[in-house]
Chains A and B, each alone.
Chain A
Amino acid sequence: MTSLRPILASAWMGIQHDIAWTTPVLSVALRVVAPFASAMTVSIIYWFGTTSASPGLFNADRLAYVLIGSTLYAHVASYAWVPTVAIAEGKNLSVFPHIYITSRSTAFYVAGTVLSSFVISTIASVAALILAYLALSSFLGTQIPATVTLTSVAMVAAALVANIPGALGLGFLLGAYSMYASKFEWSLPGYVAGLLMVFSGALFPTSFLPWPISVGAQYLPFTQFIAAAREALLPGTSGDYATSMGLCLVGGGILLGVSMFVYFASERKARKDGVIDRRLA
C-alpha cells in the first residue's frame, strides 16, 4: 500500500504539471486535436487512394479498420513516451535527483506519470475517434460500420487496460534512454509514433511487411492490442478477440520485464557516471 502513494502522487503531479498552464477542460480539448487530425488524414488517404485508383475499390469496412487503427496507435504513442519527458523535465527542474534519493525507486514516478497520461490520453483518443467518425461520415457521405454496444465498449476498455503493461514497458525503455539523453529525447515521440504507424498493423495488416519483419510486428503487444480493440468494434475483421488479448498481455508482460531490467541497469550506470543530477538544457 505504501507503494501506491508514490505512484498516485506522481500521477497527480503528471496531470497537474500537464494542465497547469491552462484550464483542465481546454487542456484535454487541445489534446483531442492531434489524434483527430491524424486519424482524419489517414482515413482520407484511404478514401482518396481507393476512390481514385479504380472504381469499386473503396470498402467501408476497411475505412473503419484504418480509422480505428490510426486512433489507437496514436493513443499508445502519446502516453508511452511520457516517462522520457517526465525524466527530462525532472532533470531540468532539478527535482529528478530528489525523487531518486527518496526511499522509493524512480520507477514509481515513471509508472505514475504513465498512468496519468494514460487517463488523459484515453479521454482524448475516444473523443478524437468519435469526432473523426462523425466528420468522415459527413465529408465522405458514407456509412462507416461500427458495433457500439455495452459489450463492445467494455471489450475495448479491457483492451486499453491490457495494453498498459506493454506501454509501460515501452515507457521504461524510453526512460532508460532519457536518463542519459541530452536534448534528443524531444524527438523521440516522433520515432515512437512513426514506428508504431509502420509496425503495429494500425494502417495495414502486418502481413504487408516483408518476412520476417511481418512476424515480429505481428507479435508486438501493440499490434495485438489494436487487433483486439478492432475486433470488438468490427467483429470478424481482425481475428479472435481472446487470442489477441492473451498475446497482448503476454507480450506486454515480457516487454515490461525486460524494460524494467534495462531501466534499473541504466539507473545504476547513471549513478556511476554521475549523470542522475546532471541538468540538461
Chain B
Amino acid sequence: MASKGTVSVEVSDLRREFKGKGSPVVALDGVSLKVGQGEIFGVLGPNGAGKTTMIRILSTLLLPTGGWAKVMGFDVEHEPEKVRRVINMASGAEKAGYDFISAKKNLWFFSQLYGIPTATAEKRIMELSEMLGLTKYLDRKFYALSTGYRQRATIARAFVNEPKVVFLDEPTIGLDVMTARSIREFLKEQARRSERTIILASHNMAEVEAICDRVAIIDKGKIIAAGTPEDLMRSLGAPALVMEVSPPQSGFEMLSRVEGVKGFTASTEEERGLSTVHIVVETDAAARAAEDAVKREGLKVVASWRKQATLEEVFVALVGRGFKEREEQDVV
C-alpha cells in the first residue's frame, strides 16, 4: 500500500535519548520508515520499546536527538507549525478532557483552537459522534462518562480538525471487545473513505493484524521487521508448535539449544497445573526435536498442536522471546 503514491510520513534514522540520573536511556535507536497516504500503519512492540516516544516526536511534542522526520513533507523539528496544521493525535491511556465540561463542549473547545467556525465544528462533531456511537452521551460532563465513552470522545477529538495524519497511541487500551471493535471499524473507515493516514502504536497483536495495512515491529528502539502482517507471518515458514507441559515450568532453556528453534514464549497456568509454550520453528523436523527435548527433561507433554503463525510468533522468531519475557527482562 505504500505504493499508493504520496508519502505522508517519512522517518529517517530517528533517535531519541533521555538523560536520566544514571546512563542515558535510548528510547529510539535509529528508526527509518515511510508511510503512504491513506495507510493504517501499525507500530508494534513490547512495553518500553519506544512506540510512544516515536508518536510524541511525530506529533511535535518532543524533539528528536538525532535523524529527522517529515509529516506531509514538513520537518517536525524545524516546521512544527506546518506539521500541526495537518495532524492530530490521541492517546488511549490519557483520555484528555476538562472534567466539568460536557463531551460536546470539550470537542467544540478543541475545534476552536484550530480556528474552525462553530457551525462547521458542530456539524463535524455530530458526524464523528454518530460514527463513534457517542451521540447519546455528548451532553454528559466529561468526568461522568464511562472509560469507554471518554475514550470515544478522545478519539473524536483527534479527528475534529480533519487531519491528514492521525497518531494514535494504544487507542483501544482497556476497552471491552465490542467497543474496541467499533473503534477499529471507525479508524478503517477514516483511512479508506477520507484518505487519512493513521499511525497506530499498540502492543495488541490482534488489533494490528486486524486493521493495519503495514506493520513495523519495534524492540528496544529499533525496527526489527516491517511489512504487511500477511507477509510477516508468511515469512516464518512452518506453523508454530504449541505444547502444554506439566508440571509448570518457569524456564525452557533446553529449547534454545534445539536446531531450528527460532524462539519461544512460555506462560504458566497455575490452576490447571501446566505451562503453555509457543515455539517458533523453521521446519517440521525442528518441531519434533523441540518436543523430544522437553520430554528428555522428564516433563510431561499433556497436549501439543501446530498453529498458524501470528504477529506474536513473528516477534518471538526475531527476538527469541515473547513480549512478556521482553518486558520482564527490562525490569531486571
Contacts and interface: CB of A to CB of B under 8 A. Distances in A.
Interface of A: 2-3, 5-6, 8-10, 12-13, 16-17, 20-21, 93-95, 97-104, 108-109, 271-272, 274, 276-277
B97 interface: yes
Contacts of A17: 98, 100-101
Interface string B84-126: 1101110100111111110001001110111110000000000
A93 B113 contact: no
Given A16-B101, A101-B88, A103-B114, A271 B62 contact: yes
B94 A8 contact: no
A6 B109 CA distance: 8
A276 B62 contact: yes
A97 B52 CA distance: 14
B112 A5 contact: yes
Interface stretch (B53-61, B191-199, B248-256): B53-61
A108 B81 CA distance: 14
A214 B112 CA distance: 45
Given A98-B157, A101-B88, A6 B113 contact: yes
- Provide the main secondary structure of the chain A interface: helix
Contacts of B89: 98, 101
Interface residues of B, number: 33
Contact of A109 (B88, B94, B113): B113
B60 A271 contact: yes
Nearest to B63: A272
A265 to B, nearest CB: 14
9 contacts: A5-B115, A9-B112, A17-B98, A94-B94, A94-B96, A98-B96, A101-B61, A102-B161, A277-B61
A2 B85 CA distance: 13
A272 B80 CA distance: 13
A3 B114 CA distance: 9
A5 B109 CA distance: 9
Interface of B: 18, 56, 59-63, 81, 84-85, 87-89, 91, 94-101, 105, 108-110, 112-116, 157, 161
Contacts of A93: 96-99
Contacts of B99: 93
Q: Which 8 A-B pairs have the closest CB atoms?
A: A9-B112, A20-B100, A2-B115, A94-B96, A102-B113, A94-B94, A103-B85, A95-B96
A132 to B, nearest CB: 31
B18 A274 contact: yes
A64 B116 CA distance: 49
Contacts of A271: 60-63
Contacts of B63: 271-272
A75 B199 CA distance: 47
Given A94-B95, A274-B62, A277-B56, A103 B18 contact: no
A95 B110 CA distance: 9
A41 to B, nearest CB: 32
Contacts of B85: 103
Contact of B113 (A94, A108, A272, A277): A108
B115 to A, nearest CB: 4
A218 B250 CA distance: 75
A150 B110 CA distance: 41
Contacts of B88: 101
Given A271-B60, A271-B63, A99 B100 contact: no
Given A100-B61, A103-B114, A277-B61, A16 B56 contact: no
Contacts of B97: 93-95
Contacts of A274: 18, 56, 61-62
Contacts of A109: 113
Nearest to B86: A103
B80 to A, nearest CB: 8
A101 B94 CA distance: 15
Contacts of A98: 89, 96, 110, 157
A101 B101 contact: no
Contacts of B110: 98-99, 102
B98 A13 contact: yes
Contacts of B114: 102-104
A103 B62 contact: no
Given A16-B101, A17-B100, A94-B94, 7 more contacts: A5-B112, A8-B112, A94-B91, A100-B60, A102-B114, A271-B61, A271-B62
Contacts of A276: 61-62
A113 to B, nearest CB: 12
B83 to A, nearest CB: 9
Nearest to A7: B112
Nearest to B117: A5
Given A98-B157, A103-B84, A276-B62, A6 B100 contact: no
